[in-house]
Structure 1
Amino acid sequence: MVAGRGAGLLRSATSSGRATFLELFFDLAFVVALTRVSQRFADLGSDTGWALVAGLGRTLLLFLALWLIWSHTVWITSRYEPERSVIQAVVVGTMFAALVMAVTLPRAMEERALPFTVAYLMVMVVRPLVVAAALRGHPRRLVPFRLAIWAAVAAPLWLVGALGPDGLRLPLWAAALAVDYLAWTLGWPLPWLGAAAVGRWRIAGEHLAERHQQMFLVALGESIMIIALAFSGVDYAAGRAAAFGVAFTTSALLWRIYFYRAGLLLTEALDRARMPGQLGAASGRTHALLVLSVLVTAVGYELVIAQPYGPPRPTWLLFVVGGPVLFLVARLRLEYEIFGRVSRSGMIGLVVLLLVPAALVRWSPMVGLSVVAGVLALVALLDALRSRQQPPEDIASPIGRETPGNRGSEA
């Protein structure tokens, strides 16, 4: 009977796979967070050498901490019934913590390190204990207990990093974040209890896919906002107007390339997978790269719109070209997860973008952005031509297939 009461918290076969309005409301906090991440990236536009590397490392760490919070929340609402009051309270509480992290993020590596850390640990340590208590003796309560214990192990590194010398903050937080991600990858193993492999979890595959697609669109929306703000915040000039148009075209091409077949079929692939948790975990890592690539690309928009024909700066290519390169790498990975292969068009675009920086370093930022848009347009065109010449390709994901060697009970 006790387990039965706890079982009511789990998603049933009749539960809707669509994201709830509360979850879309929850994403608003991450709109703010992604804006702050982009701001930190943009502040590195004039840095070089070690200052650039250190700045990129700090910003990437903060992004990965935010992504872990978002990802864990998505898995909670894919595994448990999002209409239950306790789950809704968990989502709202997480949203507030994420908002605190977002507003402290610009100075999270400086004087606002402690509130950033406290908000993060409240989600990582307290939230799983709340879920475990709500499960009321159900066997799956051990999973959130595992999460809480592993998060508590990493907590001293977060707190010492926040309270200690500024020079130790980055290495300590990097070590703490590595523990948190490693624990997730291994299934939070504990002595005598073993691990709770995420790949074996029963989840709402349709819901998880939709949430990943929505976060990619949120990132694209962030890029559109940056384009608009960058153009409206400077004096009008024909060159800036041209950069504004090319930047918007680039974002539209990112949308087209992502959703052409692979991104569009993610929902169906997760729905068909015998082990959707395994494919969902792989897809989550891929979408972290996709979202990051859009943020980096958006920083390139801002730099180019501000000075489209300014002096060439090699570090700008890190954003103008590096963002689209990361996007194509992640997009090829997504194709493999859905179809078990990668497309020629994506490979061609990736190779071209890897070769052009040596030539673009002598040209103005506007030329670099235009070349990137041209390469992405070529990828989209080759995809469109391929779709006309061949019938639509069916899903053939090599991930999430259950074999006799990996059968087992679901945690």
Structure 2
Amino acid sequence: MTTSGTSGLLRKLEDIARASFLELFFDVVFVFALRALAQQLFNNLTWSGAFQALVLLQAIGWVWSLTARVTGALNPRRPPVQVLVLATMVGALVLSAAVPEAFGKTGLIFAVTYLAIQIGRSLFLVVLLRGQELQHVAARGAIWHAATAVPWLAGAVASGTARTALWTLAVVLIYVERRFSYPLPGLGRLAGAQLPAGGEYLADRYRALFVIGLGEVVLAIGSSLTSRGFSTEQTVAFVVAFVVTALIWRVYIFRAGEDMGPAIQASANPDRLGTLVSDAHLVMIAGLVVTSVGAQLVIDDPFGHPRAAATVTILGGTALFLAGRTLLQYLVFGSVSRSRVLGLIALACLVPPMLLLPPLVNALASATVLTGIVIADNIRVRRHPAPISPPGPHRPSKT
């Protein structure tokens, strides 16, 4: 049932092809968000700092993901939808600005802003979508986000380990609501109504998110070169860091990165597969954030004294990306390339010797592993050309 006030709010399926200018404008904010996350990690390069960055990334990623689902369902030309997205942008900017000190003096700002975005969006949609089936989705979202307010706010007024533990609980609750489709006592899981979007549309949005992550790495490389100057050492480090970034792009786009749209569309449960693909991209984005920090370390001091933190960061960023990319391949094709598994094993084996070597050598090791994967991909594509039929999840494939 549709009321006259909501007529034209929903996109028609045939109109869901590519992101609108409004959505691309919204994406710009997340370049700043990932830059802030990288800076937070760079300033606190410890295991606890890495875990805190992961918690913040989960929250920021969920803001982006839900907004992408909403704009995929609603007509971006309608003024109420534009107001909603622009308001979310303002909130996301404030959220991002609070990231570097989120586990310090700006914790309350981060928590309140996050809750204002999530609860405010849901309540706005409850009013906007009156008479629409999707109103029930928004209502359940509002309830679940309100439930997470307890650990978010309690953590914001706590400090140290207590804040980390409470915000981790909040992130776990977010995962539960996603995994089990907004369950409520006595009502069970949400059935039927979802935020519909075409498979290619979702794939296009995830690719856009990945490009944002690549943009953060490029920004880190350029900023580090600017601050350090064009000495021979820094220039060589700059070239190596950029080669690593280009290789990451190449590994990402090979087949699964291009074919996830048809896979989502062909799935028996597109909404669930879309969520899992989103999780795989979040792992890859985490890898890109770590890679950007590694690039800064390499360019700042290419032949500096070996440090365990630098080695784990430089090799770990590549490993995180490969782990997410391997998961994406499994979700799209139902198989995993041997070269990617061997790449992950090689990176793990390289950690001990790289602990004794300077950052630039660590970066060259990452580039070598990625180059091997790209070469293996090229050999495999010659032997096994891409199938004509669209891919589907869990379909055996050598890609």
- Into which bin does the TM-score normalised by the smaller protein fall? over 0.9
For the residues of structure 2 that align with 1:63 and 1:198, how far apart are their CA atoms? 30
Q: Of the candidates 357, 362, 376, which is equivalent to residue 363 of structure 1?
A: 357
Aligned pairs for 1:210-221 within 5 A: 210-221=204-215
Determine the structure 1 residue equivalent to 2:31.
31
Q: CA deviation at 1:197?
A: 5.8
Aligned pairs for 1:247-286 within 5 A: 247-286=241-280
SS, match of residue 13 in structure 2: coil
Determine the structure 1 residue equivalent to 2:19.
19
- Shift of the 2–260 alpha-carbon distance from structure 1 to 2, 3 Å rule, reads closer
Q: CA deviation at 1:336?
A: 1.0
Determine the structure 1 residue equivalent to 2:302.
308
For the residues of structure 1 that align with 2:159 and 2:316, how far apart are their CA atoms? 32
Say whether residues 1:145 and 2:139 are aligned partners: yes
Q: CA deviation at 1:7?
A: 6.4
Q: Of the candidates 346, 352, 366, which is equivalent to residue 346 of structure 2?
A: 352
For the residues of structure 1 that align with 2:250 and 2:161, how far apart are their CA atoms? 43
Residue type matched to 2:75 in 1?
A: E
- Shift of the 177–7 alpha-carbon distance from structure 1 to 2, 3 Å rule, reads farther
SS, match of residue 310 in structure 1: coil
Q: Which moved more, 1:87-96 or 1:9-18?
A: 9-18
**Residue 4 of structure 1 contacts residue 138 of structure 1 at CA under 8 Å; is this kept in 2?**
no
Identity of aligned residues (%): 35
For the residues of structure 2 that align with 1:263 and 1:362, how far apart are their CA atoms? 35
Say whether residues 1:190 and 2:184 are aligned partners: yes
Q: CA deviation at 1:189?
A: 1.0
- Shift of the 369–105 alpha-carbon distance from structure 1 to 2, 3 Å rule, reads same
**Residue 199 of structure 1 contacts residue 281 of structure 1 at CA under 8 Å; is this kept in 2?**
no
Q: CA deviation at 1:143?
A: 1.1
Say whether residues 1:375 and 2:375 are aligned partners: no
**Residue 293 of structure 1 contacts residue 324 of structure 1 at CA under 8 Å; is this kept in 2?**
yes
For the residues of structure 2 that align with 1:18 and 1:235, how far apart are their CA atoms? 40
- Shift of the 100–64 alpha-carbon distance from structure 1 to 2, 3 Å rule, reads same
For the residues of structure 2 that align with 1:171 and 1:243, how far apart are their CA atoms? 38
- Shift of the 383–54 alpha-carbon distance from structure 1 to 2, 3 Å rule, reads same
Say whether residues 1:77 and 2:45 are aligned partners: no
Q: CA deviation at 1:83?
A: 2.6
- Shift of the 54–128 alpha-carbon distance from structure 1 to 2, 3 Å rule, reads same
**Residue 104 of structure 2 contacts residue 159 of structure 2 at CA under 8 Å; is this kept in 1?**
no
Determine the structure 2 residue equivalent to 1:406.
none
Residue type matched to 1:111 in 2?
A: K
**Residue 345 of structure 1 contacts residue 379 of structure 1 at CA under 8 Å; is this kept in 2?**
yes
Q: CA deviation at 1:31?
A: 0.8
**Residue 134 of structure 2 contacts residue 194 of structure 2 at CA under 8 Å; is this kept in 1?**
no
For the residues of structure 2 that align with 1:63 and 1:136, how far apart are their CA atoms? 32
For the residues of structure 2 that align with 1:170 and 1:391, how far apart are their CA atoms? 48
- Shift of the 166–343 alpha-carbon distance from structure 1 to 2, 3 Å rule, reads closer
Determine the structure 1 residue equivalent to 2:41.
41
Unaligned runs of 5+ in 1: 46-51, 401-411
Q: CA deviation at 1:165?
A: 4.3
For the residues of structure 2 that align with 1:198 and 1:381, how far apart are their CA atoms? 45
Q: CA deviation at 1:153?
A: 1.2
For the residues of structure 2 that align with 1:395 and 1:290, how far apart are their CA atoms? 24
**Residue 69 of structure 2 contacts residue 195 of structure 2 at CA under 8 Å; is this kept in 1?**
no
For the residues of structure 1 that align with 2:167 and 2:54, how far apart are their CA atoms? 12
For the residues of structure 2 that align with 1:301 and 1:342, how far apart are their CA atoms? 28
For the residues of structure 2 that align with 1:86 and 1:121, how far apart are their CA atoms? 20
SS, match of residue 312 in structure 1: coil
Q: CA deviation at 1:5?
A: 5.1
The alignment's TM-score, normalised by the length of structure 1, stands at 0.91
- Show CA shifts across 1:377-404 (max 9, x none): 110011011111222145443369xxxx
- Show CA shifts across 1:145-172 (max 9, x none): 1111111111122122222445522212
Determine the structure 2 residue equivalent to 1:121.
115
Q: CA deviation at 1:204?
A: 2.2
Determine the structure 2 residue equivalent to 1:397.
392
For the residues of structure 1 that align with 2:178 and 2:316, how far apart are their CA atoms? 28
For the residues of structure 1 that align with 2:282 and 2:9, how far apart are their CA atoms? 28
For the residues of structure 2 that align with 1:205 and 1:79, how far apart are their CA atoms? 12
Q: CA deviation at 1:307?
A: 0.8
Determine the structure 1 residue equivalent to 2:9.
9
**Residue 186 of structure 1 contacts residue 197 of structure 1 at CA under 8 Å; is this kept in 2?**
no
- Show CA shifts across 1:259-290 (max 9, x none): 01110112222233343212211100000011
Q: CA deviation at 1:67?
A: 0.6
Residue type matched to 1:14 in 2?
A: E
Alignment coverage as a number of residue pairs:
394
- Shift of the 104–198 alpha-carbon distance from structure 1 to 2, 3 Å rule, reads farther
Unaligned runs of 5+ in 2: none
**Residue 137 of structure 2 contacts residue 194 of structure 2 at CA under 8 Å; is this kept in 1?**
no
For the residues of structure 2 that align with 1:274 and 1:15, how far apart are their CA atoms? 22
SS, match of residue 213 in structure 2: helix
- Show CA shifts across 1:187-224 (max 9, x none): 11113432126996532222111110011011101101
The alignment's TM-score, normalised by the length of structure 2, stands at 0.94
Determine the structure 1 residue equivalent to 2:47.
53
For the residues of structure 2 that align with 1:139 and 1:232, how far apart are their CA atoms? 52
For the residues of structure 1 that align with 2:155 and 2:115, how far apart are their CA atoms? 13
Q: CA deviation at 1:354?
A: 1.2
Q: CA deviation at 1:308?
A: 0.7
Q: CA deviation at 1:109?
A: 1.5
For the residues of structure 1 that align with 2:236 and 2:359, how far apart are their CA atoms? 12
